[in-house]
Amino acid sequence: MGSHYEAPIRKPLVTGNKSYHQISVDVARPIEGVANKKWWIVFGISLILFMWGIGCIIYTISTGIGVWGLNKTVGWAWDITNFVWWIGIGHAGTLISAVLLLFRQKWRMGINRSAEAMTIFSVIQAGLFPVIHMGRPWLAYWIVPIPNQFGSLWVNFNSPLLWDVFAISTYLTISLVFWWTGLLPDFAMIRDRAIKPFQKKIYSLVSFGWSGRAKDWQRFEEVSLVLAGLATPLVLSVHTIVSFDFATSVIPGWHTTIFPPYFVAGAIFSGFAMVQTLLIVMRKVCDLEDYITLQHIELMNIVIMITGSLVGCAYITELFIAWYSGVEYEQYAFLNRATGPYWWAYWAMMTCNVFSPQFMWIKKLRTSIVFSFVISIVVNIGMWFERFVIIVTSLHRDYLPSSWTMFSPTFVDIGIFIGTIGFFFVLFLLYARTFPVIAQAEVKTILKSSGDNYKKLRDKK
């Protein structure tokens, strides 16, 4: 057992005296069982929200973007706020699966599958907004550099919006293959346990005939490692490029060099908050408290605390630089943010993102499940307000005071946003009932080093 040694000071990551077989049974249980009433209720509500969102999207496309609350001064508002919010949420998954893999953090094993699922589902939501905002979404393929009937009409490779097209499509597809490759052995486990013929057929199909040969595993591990090495700069690049959408413009409040690291930290912050929200519920509902332990929740809280502090640092730096630059437009943009008509949004952002995570310094609070859940919701709200503040308050009072205005969303703006939340939960709830939500093959590799039973056995010696 020498090769399975782990320092006794490290807390167990798998509790409840598990054997390899027990892990399979626990992971397969939500798939093999039947959905309870609560699942159907939540699924029903999500589906209704999703349908409402689809209605609003159809209304927007058939009537025009005029049905949104945009005006000639504020030409970007809820749509791009929601886009950046969803993209940000989508950052935790790859961070957990890629960056934590490179750092050999064993606690990622319990949560990476769901975090990656969350990433893919939220990037899908994010992608909807630019496509809808195009006005004619059936022409969305025009953003791809393909030879066309208009002569030498190409997309502009100098534009951050086009960089975004490449960044987000690469991010979505790479995350998808990373996720699916990791799923193969787990689908195979479900396939080999399945007793219903239909279930067996479906899981045979999606497991791609995975058999678990030694050579397959060797390649599997190498592919995971290289993909992690690729996904790490990728995840940083995606939100960097999203921030370029703003930073390369000449709008006071947007035109700052701090945007890329500030956006990346914010993305990780909001992503972890969403993972926390989802997993605190899922571990309870799917009976997975032995795999997503209090230790996992505490570590995620620490990440939330650190990234929250980084974001807070960025907010203050922005204010300082605005003052220090001596540019009066820049100074006004920030003064207006904090004390102008949208002061409430600014202070909601400050309270939710900078002050609330500071409670996590206290051990008692960061190991409290209820408190963690509340803070995760607060952070989700705060990060939405951050994007709203950056976008709307920088635009609504521009260089020309005669065109100063306010933005208020219409029911369509709100409906589409609510609809994406519904769509996200529809996907996540379906996932939770049909996919192995814990990367069981990977958890089995750390059982002997981080399982509570094995740790106790070593302590006795």
Q: How many residues bind other proteins (CB under 8 A)?
A: 75
- Nearest CA to 183 out of 203, 201, 213 is that of 203
SS3 233: helix
Using the minimum distance from each CB to other proteins, give the nearer residue, 222 or 328: 222
Residue tagged 């974001």 (tokens): 311
User: What sign does the CA torsion over 242, 248, 249, 253 have?
Assistant: positive
Cα separation, 310 vs 62, in Å, equals: 43
- Is residue 149 close enough to count as binding other proteins by CB under 8 A? no
Using the minimum distance from each CB to other proteins, give the nearer residue, 33 or 64: 33
Tokens (6 digits) for 421: 């939340």
Using the minimum distance from each CB to other proteins, give the nearer residue, 211 or 358: 211
237-256 positions binding other proteins, by CB under 8 A: 237, 241, 244
- Window contacting other proteins (CB under 8 A); options: 135-143, 161-169, 272-280, 336-344: 161-169
- Is residue 280 close enough to count as binding other proteins by CB under 8 A? no
Using the minimum distance from each CB to other proteins, give the nearer residue, 168 or 311: 168
Determine which residue in the list 5, 8, 10, 32 makes contact with other proteins, applying CB under 8 A: 32
| Nearest distance in Å: CB 383, other proteins | 24
Determine which residue in the list 17, 148, 173, 408 makes contact with other proteins, applying CB under 8 A: 173
- Is residue 335 close enough to count as binding other proteins by CB under 8 A? no
| Nearest distance in Å: CB 206, other proteins | 8
| Nearest distance in Å: CB 419, other proteins | 29
Determine which residue in the list 58, 102, 205, 362 makes contact with other proteins, applying CB under 8 A: 205
- Window contacting other proteins (CB under 8 A); options: 45-53, 61-69, 236-244, 297-305: 236-244
- Window contacting other proteins (CB under 8 A); options: 18-26, 91-99, 256-264, 392-400: 18-26
Using the minimum distance from each CB to other proteins, give the nearer residue, 64 or 233: 233
Using the minimum distance from each CB to other proteins, give the nearer residue, 181 or 367: 181
- Is residue 157 close enough to count as binding other proteins by CB under 8 A? yes
Using the minimum distance from each CB to other proteins, give the nearer residue, 77 or 188: 188
103-122 positions binding other proteins, by CB under 8 A: none
Contact assessment for residue 458 and residue 132, using Cβ atoms and an 8 Å cutoff: no
Residue tagged 């003052």 (tokens): 323
206-235 positions binding other proteins, by CB under 8 A: 206-223, 225-227, 230-231, 233-234
What length is written for the chain?
461
Tokens (6 digits) for 9: 């000071």
Q: Is 159 left (phi over 0), alpha (psi -120 to 50) or beta?
A: beta
- Is residue 36 close enough to count as binding other proteins by CB under 8 A? yes
Phi and psi, residue 399, nearest 5°:
-65, -25
- Window contacting other proteins (CB under 8 A); options: 42-50, 96-104, 187-195, 453-461: 187-195
- Is residue 44 close enough to count as binding other proteins by CB under 8 A? no
393-452 positions binding other proteins, by CB under 8 A: 441-442, 444-445, 448
Determine which residue in the list 12, 13, 14, 24 makes contact with other proteins, applying CB under 8 A: 24
- Nearest CA to 126 out of 180, 94, 90 is that of 90
| Nearest distance in Å: CB 120, other proteins | 14
| Nearest distance in Å: CB 455, other proteins | 16
| Nearest distance in Å: CB 27, other proteins | 10
Residues 6+ apart with CB under 8 A from 391: 76, 77, 80, 81, 84, 246
Listing DSSP states for 251-314 in one string gives: -TTT--TTHHHHHHHHHHHHHHHHHHHHHHHHHHHTT-TTTS-HHHHHHHHHHHHHHHHHHHHH
> What Rg do the C-alpha atoms of the chain give, in angstroms?
23
Cα separation, 5 vs 295, in Å, equals: 19
Contact assessment for residue 346 and residue 390, using Cβ atoms and an 8 Å cutoff: no
Using the minimum distance from each CB to other proteins, give the nearer residue, 172 or 319: 172
Cα separation, 431 vs 429, in Å, equals: 5
Contact assessment for residue 270 and residue 377, using Cβ atoms and an 8 Å cutoff: no
- Nearest CA to 438 out of 26, 43, 80, 12 is that of 26
- Is residue 19 close enough to count as binding other proteins by CB under 8 A? yes
Determine which residue in the list 33, 44, 64, 135 makes contact with other proteins, applying CB under 8 A: 33
Using the minimum distance from each CB to other proteins, give the nearer residue, 381 or 458: 458
Cα separation, 346 vs 287, in Å, equals: 39
Which residue type occupies 62? Answer: S
Which residue type occupies 77? Answer: A
- Nearest CA to 114 out of 256, 236, 275 is that of 275
